[in-house]
Structures are given as structure tokens and as C-alpha cells.
Amino acid sequence: MFKKILIANRGEIALRVIRTCKEMGIKTVQVYSEADANSLPVLLADESVCVGPPASSGSYLNIPNILSAAVMTGAEAIHPGYGFMAENPDFAEKCRDHGIVFIGPTPESMHALGSKAGGREIAAISNVPTVPGTGLLENTEEAIEKAEKIGYPVLLKASAGGGGRGQKIVRSSDEMKVLFAQAQSEAQMYFSDPALIMEKFLEEFRHVEVQVFGDGQGHVIHIGERDCSIQRRNQKLIEEAPSTLPHDLRDEILAAGVRLAKHVNYAGAGTLEFIVDREDHFYFMEMNTRIQVEHCVSEAISRLDFVKLQIEIAAGMGLNLTQEDIRLEGHAIECRINAEDPKHDFRPSAGKIEDVHFAGGPGVRIDSHTFTGYSIPPNYDSLIGKLICWAPTRDAAIARTKRALEETVVQGIKTTIPLYVEIMDNEFYKRGTVMTNFLKTRMGM
């Protein structure tokens, strides 16, 4: 087992990794930007190293500085969290070149699956259905030509990214002339890769994803599925596990996810994202070769520590679980608490948190790096915490989530908490009839 791990990320996921490392007796090194000098992960890690200015391009995306920090502190492995360099095969390869273990899949798997274009190719080979779409697009002219064959509306997507970044819904050739360049620019800014693909855009669908773990030797298991259909501009807000899909359909999607991951001898944690239309046809979208923001709901129903599993697999201890070992119980809901104002088009609300009180009680988990007096830097994602609630049934989980949201107080900034209370009261949400356009069609937003 590793003696020391460097965490190449920030915020709540960095704190999440630190906590598991401490329980495993592993020392931690936290890298940070100048904007995060007083953050909770920096305060709680065994060591910390500043790797650059507030801009992520000079700090959390600065490969030479992060590798230097690992070498200087004697870290044997790097946990990338999610975002930043978690799905960067070049970074994983440079870690290997320096004798440092990248806690995640191999660079080869990341090259194959990490891009949306590569994932579509492997899905086809694995007999997993995909949405009509394209490979990598060269320019606007090609995009217009392919879009006219597919049929508008279409969705431009950053091949190297996730989290809704670099995505644009395009409804005409005139829009394509403007939005293609915008999507490329966002893809370059967030993922250092401007490559785009295109897919047919479905107006109404459910977003369902399969959590898998593999040992890199052909052994792959799933740990259930999650429904991530409550979204804003392709960015998830609320996730739950399991989904409310019919059991036969769930089994088909789970089998498809495992089949695809086995095809590349996947190692570590991975998530396969699917869309499900109104007729219950499902299509593979992409595979995220990392741990997900919403992994917590799957942990809640499985009682497993996913970060611990990641570390054990990376350390060469294998995956000591079979599919029969996985017992999923109850229902879990996660609300992403963002520093945004839902009443004003989700305008960012960076600033100082004057007071904060998080909910507690049975079945309630809070993952947050914030505290009273913490100043939210304007340089990064607006996520300030996650509220995860587990209960024996979905109805009970909704009631517990509403109670916990009402108990949570964050003063000094605007947050998405009031919106989530409304959603927990919404009859369509309670019935589980949720599509990705829920905020527009059911909440008038």
C-alpha cells in the first residue's frame, strides 16, 4: 500500500480523498493555487504545496508543477479527483514516466474511452447502442454538413470533457456558424483540447449512468445505476440511486455498461452515461474515466468506499469483489449545493460565507470544504458542497432530503438550496417522471 498520496485537485473532492487516506493510514500532500491557500483541504492535509496562481491553467492544470510537487514530497501516487486532469491521458502517462502511480485507468484506456469520439467507436464494437452522431469534427463547414444529414437540432460536445462544459445545442446552420467556435473555445479553456463531436439532440430524455469498477485484468462489476436527469444547461443538479426505470430496462443498461468496460480491460472507477427516451430506448453517450461528483449516492446504497477501492486497485491489490458481493439497499438522493442564484438565471454568487450550518441526523451526509468565514474564489466551479440523504425507500429519501435542506443554512451568498426544496415538493419529481428538461417544463425556469 502507498505511504503517501498527492491530491491534484481542490474543494470537496480533495477533502473526500484526504479523509479516506487518513482512515487507511496514508499521508497526504495537497497541492493548491494561491486562491486556495486557506482552504480546508490545505489545512487538513499532512503537507501542502502551492503550484501556481488562481487561474487553473497556471496551477491545477500545470503538469510540471504538480509532478515537481509529487517528486519533492516523495508522493508515490497521485489522485486526480474529477475535473482538471482526471481524464488527461498525457498527465497519466507523465506520471508513469516519473515512476508515480496515477490513481485511475491506464493512459491507453483513457485514450480509448476518455474522449467521446473514442467511446462511441468502442460502444459500436461492444454492441452497445449510441445516439446518431459523428467522430471528431474538423471545422464549421463539416459540422454543418454532418448536422444536415443527422437533422437539427444537434448537440456539439467537447470530446475531451464533461460536466456540460463545451456543449451547445444547435438548431440551424446559422447558429452553427456562431456556436461551433464558442464550443471549441470552451473546450480549449476547460480541457486544453478544442476537439468537438456532434450528436442528435433529443428534446426529452432521462440521463442514467452506470457505475463500474474493474481490475485491469478483465474483471469488471457494476455498482448499480444513477438517475441524473435534474439538470441545468447539461450540468447535473440532483442525482439519485437507484433510478426509477423498469427492472428489465435497468438490467439491460447495467449489462451494456459492464460489457463495454470489459472490452478495454478497464481498471479503477468509471461511469458509463446513457440516455433513455420516452419509449424506453437507451443509447450510450460517453464514459467518464474517473470518479464522479455523484458517486456518493452509489456509496450510500452499497456501503462501499469508492475512493478506497480506487486506491487499492491502483496499488495492485486488485478488485476483491464479485458481482454477487454487491448488495444495493434503500434509496439515496444527492443535491449539489452551488453558490448560484436560481432566481436570477443561476448567476454565480462568489463571496464570503458569513455563517454556515449543515444538516445532520440519520442517513444524512455532507461533503463540503466550506466553513464560516470561508471566501469562495471566483476562479472555479460554483460547487460548495453536496447533501446526500439515504432512506429505505424513495419516498422516505425525498422527505429526508427536504428536511435536511430546510435545516441547512448558508448566509452571505445565494445558493441553490431553495430551488431543491421546491423540487422535493414537486409532484412530478415525487412520481419519478423526470426528464432533463424538468426545470423548464415543470418549474418554469
Instruction: Give me the residues paired with residue 302 across strands.
Output: none
Residue 290 falls in the annotated catalytic set: yes
The grid coordinates of residue 23 equal: 482512515
Instruction: Centre a 10 Å sphere on the Cβ of residue 445 and count the other Cβ atoms it contains.
Output: 14
The three-class DSSP label of residue 348 is: strand
Query: What is the 8-class DSSP label of residue 110?
Result: I
Closest CA to 394 of 329, 442, 305, 304: 329
Is 137:115 a contact under the CB 8 Å cutoff? no
Residues 342 and 335 sit within 8 Å (Cβ to Cβ): no
Query: Cα 11 to the chain's mean position, in Å?
Result: 14
355-357 and 282-288 as β-strands: parallel, antiparallel, unpaired? unpaired
Angle value at C-alpha 420, between 415 and 425, nearest 5 degrees:
150
Between CA 1 and CA 265 the distance in angstroms is 22
Tell me which of 16, 206, 290, 442 is the catalytic residue. Answer: 290
The residues assigned a catalytic role are 290
